[in-house]
Amino acid sequence: MSVTIKDVAEKAGVSPATVSRVIGSRGYVSDKNRRKIQAAIRELGYQPNVLARSMVTKSTCIIGLVVTDILNPFFAHLARGVEKVTWQEGFTLILANTDEDPDRETAVVRTLQAQQVDGLILVPSTSLPSPHLSELVDRKVPLVLVDRSVRNLAVDTVMVDNEHGAYQAVSYLVQKGHSQVGVILDNPEISTNIERLAGYRRALEEAGIPYREDLIRSCQYTEQSAHDIAAEMIARADPPSAIFTTNNFMTLGALNAIIERGMKIPEQIAIVGFDDLELPWMGPAQISTVRQPVHEMGNVAAQRLLARIRGDQSPALEIRLKTRFSTE
């Protein structure tokens, strides 16, 4: 059997309560006892059972981080950003994927709740109101949304200025003389895409360019699907002269479709992507991207959550970080 606080107490000739005081560095303990206890801990290789501690303190120091897909470098970086501050503050992170599936999201959130996490940072898989998130709010489980928002859910949300970022990107294309700008986005239900599309529309409107429904195409959240849509788009009689993609994978898919067709970038078709795309090697291709401070988003979300866990009762905040448009 593993060694418990009782074993340490016996070995040191004191009560468990005194050992507990030493472990938690709280209350008064005589130097003599402190030393004896520390020696006993070392000799026995004692490690406190945090489960038992959590039972009485009602705090697990565990935070759940729910992303849609850790394979997307964007979310991997986000996770690192969150991890950095939570680790520093002595919290453990449980990471879970939802695969952009609301049902899985529900299941994952339930599991995390059962684990008694102290709080949750979540990338919602839809912006539609979901009962499992309202439930969290009702139960006063600290929750911070990141990257995307959920309608009518009054919780802290950390996002970038999607509308403005897209506006900037599309304005750049317009300025370069493009009047037919295709858009490839995944799920049109998530807030980032809604906002980015709004930015796109505003850029066109401002330039007096009519909005063409047929240039907006949504697809599955896979590179393959984006590829197929892009291929179709550039193959038609009246193709766009530029494409705006709203995330990493869409950009890659579109890129491959363009390369396959043997078109030159940006001479024959321009492409601007959203997200901090780390293309390992872009070669001669010129791609401008709307860069997001993803690591910082993770930091900020984690700080917000910790503040809530520590009792911050202020009204829900919407925090917007700035994107940076970088032309290559």
Partner DNA sequence: TTGAAAGCGCTAACAA
Partner DNA sequence: TTGTTAGCGCTTTCAA
Q: Which residues contact 155 (CB under 8 A, 6 or more apart)?
A: 133, 137, 143, 144, 145, 316
216 interacts with a copy of itself by CB under 8 A: no
CA–CA distance, 204 with 193 (Å, rounded to integer): 17
Report, in Å, the least distance between residue 29 CB and a copy of itself. 21
Q: Is 49 in the site for a copy of itself (CB under 8 A)?
A: yes
**CB of residue 327 to a copy of itself, shortest distance in Å:** 19
What is the C-alpha separation between 121 and 192, in angstroms, rounded?
17
**Minimum distance from residue 253 beta carbon to DNA (Å):** 47
Please give the structure tokens belonging to residue 223.
Answer: 């590179």
Residue found by looking up tokens 């040191």 in the block: 12
Rounded Cα distance between 117 and 64, Å, is 6
What part of residues 175-204 is at the interface with DNA (CB under 7 A)?
A: none
Place of tokens 């860069």: 291
Residue 1 binds DNA (CB under 7 A): yes
> Is residue 308 close enough to count as binding DNA by CB under 7 A?
no
Which structure tokens are listed for 198? Answer: 């709004």
Q: Is 16 in the site for DNA (CB under 7 A)?
A: yes
The angle formed by the CA atoms of residues 71, 72 and 77, to the nearest 5 degrees, is 100
- Binding residue for a copy of itself, selected from 11, 21, 36, 77, defined by CB under 8 A: 77
Residue count (the chain): 328
Cα 303 to Cα 321: distance, rounded to the nearest angstrom: 14
Q: Does 198 bind a copy of itself (CB under 8 A)?
A: no
The partner in contact with residue 20, picked from DNA, a copy of itself, none with C-beta cut-offs of 5 to 8 angstroms by kind, is: DNA
Dist CA 26 CA 148 (whole Å)? 41
Residue 156 binds which entry of DNA, a copy of itself, none, with Cβ cut-offs from 5 to 8 Å by kind? none
Counting Cα atoms < 13 Å in the Cβ hemisphere of 278 gives 8
319 binds a copy of itself (CB under 8 A): no
In angstroms, the CA 243 to CA 219 distance is 14
Name the segment binding DNA (CB under 7 A); options: 8-16, 63-71, 240-248, 313-321.
8-16
- Of 29-37, 65-73, 205-213, 312-320, the window that binds a copy of itself (rule: CB under 8 A) is 65-73
Q: Which of 66, 79, 121, 250 binds a copy of itself (CB under 8 A)?
A: 79
* Contact residues: a copy of itself, CB under 8 A: 2, 45, 47-52, 54-55, 60, 62, 70-71, 73, 76-77, 79-80, 83, 92-97, 110-116, 135, 139, 223, 252, 255-256, 259, 279-283, 285
